[in-house]
Structure 1
Amino acid sequence: MAIFIVLQIINDSIWGPIELSPTSWKIINTPEFQRLRFIKQLGGCYFVYPGACHNRFEHSIGTAHLARTLGTELQKNQPELKITQEDIICLEVAGLCHDLGHGAFSHLFDLQFIQKARPGYEWEHEEASLKMLDRIFEIVSLDDLTKESQTFIKELIKKPKGSYEGRPKEKHFLYEVVANDVNKIDVDKWDYFSRDCHMLGLHHNFQCQRSIKIARVIEHGGERHISFPKSEYLNIFDMFSTRYTLHRQAYQHPANRVVQTMISDAFIKADRYLTFPPNKPKGKSGKTLSESIDDMDAYIWVTDDVFHRIRTLSEDNENVKQAKTILDRILSRDFYKIIGEKKVQFKGEKQKVYLKEKFQYSYGKKNKEQKVLREPIFNRCSA
């Protein structure tokens, strides 16, 4: 007997009518997923681009749609891959849940605030995504997903330190759909490139629908990989060109970087005076903002609403007063001013490209050559 799955439809501003499985709808209708409605996709960029008002909620739904679409196309075009309906549901759920762990103002939280508040503590939002997903698996009945498939979904979201366990080696190409660790071409980027350009009013030429249609799995070096024909290279080039454009005109926009720095500074100053869940005593069931990542009961409350919670705090403490002043300056567009640049030398294997330039010490010593990157220095005093 054939299995018939009724798909419900969402009308998306980028992809039009989107069909999602009942499994995805069960996940969408949970507090863990609904919190994404209150986290801006581009963080502080909304203070620079008024159109950047989209949230992680719609991006996650779009990514789920593209993951299902790519999996379905591969299943149809290459039946020898033996992609099952359960595989496709897993891809869809992974696309849906890959950003569950984002904190307030998206990457500002993990890349700026947590690094300053807990120096030396290594944490990525994907870790919180997996913890949130565990909560969903506990409260929602997902009878169509085996324990093996639940493991597979987690591995699709964050690559495990050891070997893959969710699917056998002949299906390891599926790990390149949502978060491609091989060449960074994946449905997550396809959605946010298209969505961010649309909301920011930026032009782009990349068409991921074409790439989905002509994608094929081929074997190379004894392993299977999702690949594209040579004729597709210009479209793929446009994808990376779009990424560059978004970084240059939006993600790394000087005003955006200033706003992100100011919000991060306010979070740091108010950290110890905020508790999550709200109104819970600190030290018992309540966690500070920086501690919330250790407890999902607390972290589920960490959304962009933190911005306004700080503005409602009592000014009994000088740090709170300074935090509120910083946020008030953002709302009155009294931004930090860039007064110079410092040169940062990165450590670790991941950063291998440096800007090499000569500079002279301000006290008159001779030029010294060093591998550096420019980092702006802000004047944090009000005008």
Structure 2
Amino acid sequence: MPTLKRIRDPVHGLIVFDLEKEVDKAAWRLIDTSEFQRLRRIKQLGVSEFTFPGATHTRFSHSIGVFHVARCLMKVAEKGLPATEWNHQRERTALLAALLHDIGHGPFSHAFENVEKERLGSRGSYKNHETWTAEIIASRARSIRPALEKVFGGGGGIADDIAELLTRPPTDIYAAIVSSSFDADRLDYLRRDRLMTGSGAGAIDFDWLVDNLRVVRAKIGIGEGETDEGEPTTIQTFAFEEKALQAVEAFILARYHLYSQVYFHRVTRGIEMTLSAFLRSIAVLVANGRAQELPVHERNPLVAYFAAVEPTLALYLALDDAVVWNMIEACADNGPEDVRVLGRDIRDRKLRKAIEIDMVNTTDLDRLRKGFIDNDLKSSIGQTIFRDAVSLSIYKDAQREDIPAHKRVFVKRADGNVVDIAALSKAVAALTEDQNVLRYYFADWRQYDSALKCAGETNGEAR
């Protein structure tokens, strides 16, 4: 059996797994589990392909890319720490956590999760994808834990260690590689999503960033820990050499551009809200004992999931994008009227007209329009009008002491001092304030026109 396995990746090139190394051997076994293979059937960007036709990449390819980047960052960490301080167990835990970090995502991740939060939140049984991820990894009834135990043995508890790392705030350099302001996840999705969407914005200089990355000690945020004297302690984290300042600025700005131009794109968010409404309608029909009205088999995975008071891992893992598409296709032609209309809108890409209001720099015109929609058209919100509040926060205020160290980006100056990048970069400092936008999506063009006319606009599009 060959000791080297290779995966060709459009972002990172050749990703090599050396099966003589424990971590690589475990990673290869994990990739072959049914739970990980399921990620092939869940797109990384949900409905973004409706806006960017090339955005059909999956959480499968992203997760493998994150593992590859995590290995690169781990080499930097190992080089920056004394050999006597290096923790091999934490190293392997973090690397495999990077590979498995998205394994608990549901179909059309965010649209589905929004519905589940509404549906199960009041019962106290709602689980976000991080919770599902931890349960999938730790479960003895699934494939992940046994795959790990075949490599590392059953007594090490590495599955529990991985699940714990993924559900707790980062406390050391190993966890920071998986979750921080400069982690393997971001370093993969920023490059992958830019490539696959065709977006011209958001380029980062990956090689230069990693080459100038160092391990430092920085003050932790208030509440994370204190000395006996009440003074803030320090924590090991990453920082960049000052000569990489412009590349770091570009990294932070890249995330801003991708969020504003891709993830929060008006069309994408509109279709996502339509999909959430469709899934919500299916869940209501099932909850009201009307599942037989749906043109699908009674054992359809989506119906079975919504019918459960507390969905099991097996029911959850039976869901993927294809299951939802099957329901959309079936209902678009033969479903009850409300789900039929929503299904057709999704299937045929029937876009709702949108009105956008800047909630930070609100004009008199915006306030007039918002007041009309919220009051005169109030009964239609959630029905023929969808309301979407978007908050974009790219870099928290560096002067706030409650921001944890691993949520900051640090620069190591020539004199050895470690400072927050916002103290050196005007461009980053300008991104510390939240940007809030409110959008209304109209299925009824007459309501859309009336919302425009109330503000004195009789022709043309709203912003």
**Common fold: TM-score over 0.5:** yes
Deviation per residue, 1:87-115 (Å, 9 max, x gap): 433222111100011111122222x2223
* Cα displacement (A) at 1:279: 4.8
- The SS at the match of 1:305 is helix
Distance 1:223 1:179, change over 3 A: same
- The SS at the match of 1:57 is helix
Choose which of 131, 137, 141 in structure 2 pairs with 1:127.
131
- The SS at the match of 1:118 is helix
Query: Would the aligned equivalents of 2:52 and 2:198 in 1 still touch at CA under 8 Å?
Result: no
Q: CA RMSD in A?
A: 3.5
- Matched ranges for 1:194-273 at <5 A: 194-203=191-200, 204-220=202-218, 221-271=233-283, 272=286, 273=291
Query: Would the aligned equivalents of 2:332 and 2:347 in 1 still touch at CA under 8 Å?
Result: no
Q: Which amino acid is 2:116 matched to?
A: I
Query: Would the aligned equivalents of 1:355 and 1:373 in 2 still touch at CA under 8 Å?
Result: no
Which residue of structure 2 aligns with residue 306 of structure 1? 323
Structure 2: segments with no counterpart, 5+ residues: 18-23, 219-232, 376-433, 447-463
Give the distance between the partners of 2:135 and 2:30, measured in 1 at CA.
14
TM-score by length of 2: 0.66
Choose which of 325, 329, 352 in structure 2 pairs with 1:336.
352
- The SS at the match of 1:218 is strand
* Cα displacement (A) at 1:317: 9.2
Which residue of structure 2 aligns with residue 115 of structure 1? 117
Which residue of structure 2 aligns with residue 349 of structure 1? none
* Cα displacement (A) at 1:62: 0.3
* Cα displacement (A) at 1:312: 5.4
Distance 1:362 1:36, change over 3 A: closer
Query: Would the aligned equivalents of 1:128 and 1:293 in 2 still touch at CA under 8 Å?
Result: no
Give the distance between the partners of 1:225 and 1:103, measured in 2 at CA.
31
* Cα displacement (A) at 1:130: 0.7
TM-score by length of 1: 0.78
Deviation per residue, 1:233-273 (Å, 9 max, x gap): 22121111111111121111111111101111111111224
Q: Which amino acid is 2:69 matched to?
A: L
Give the distance between the partners of 1:287 and 1:304, measured in 2 at CA.
16
- Matched ranges for 1:18-57 at <5 A: 18-20=15-17, 21-57=24-60
Q: Which amino acid is 1:242 matched to?
A: A
Q: Is 1:173 aligned to residue 166 of structure 2? A: no
Give the distance between the partners of 1:57 and 1:372, measured in 2 at CA.
31
Structure 1: segments with no counterpart, 5+ residues: 345-353, 366-370
Deviation per residue, 1:54-96 (Å, 9 max, x gap): 0000000000111112112322453436435544332221111
* Cα displacement (A) at 1:230: 1.8
* Cα displacement (A) at 1:18: 0.8
Q: Is 1:93 aligned to residue 96 of structure 2? A: yes
Choose which of 129, 140, 153 in structure 1 pairs with 2:162.
153
Give the distance between the partners of 1:156 and 1:149, measured in 2 at CA.
10
Give the distance between the partners of 2:238 and 2:328, measured in 1 at CA.
48
Give the distance between the partners of 2:240 and 2:282, measured in 1 at CA.
49
Deviation per residue, 1:168-205 (Å, 9 max, x gap): x7xx221110111xxx2211001000000011112333
Give the distance between the partners of 2:6 and 2:309, measured in 1 at CA.
35
Which residue of structure 2 aligns with residue 324 of structure 1? 340
Matched length: 345
Give the distance between the partners of 1:326 and 1:241, measured in 2 at CA.
36
Q: Which amino acid is 1:45 matched to?
A: S
Distance 1:228 1:316, change over 3 A: closer
- The SS at the match of 2:143 is helix
Which residue of structure 2 aligns with residue 68 of structure 1? 71
Query: Would the aligned equivalents of 1:102 and 1:128 in 2 still touch at CA under 8 Å?
Result: yes
Give the distance between the partners of 1:236 and 1:251, measured in 2 at CA.
21
Distance 1:261 1:231, change over 3 A: same
Query: Would the aligned equivalents of 2:104 and 2:131 in 1 still touch at CA under 8 Å?
Result: yes
Q: Which amino acid is 1:158 matched to?
A: T
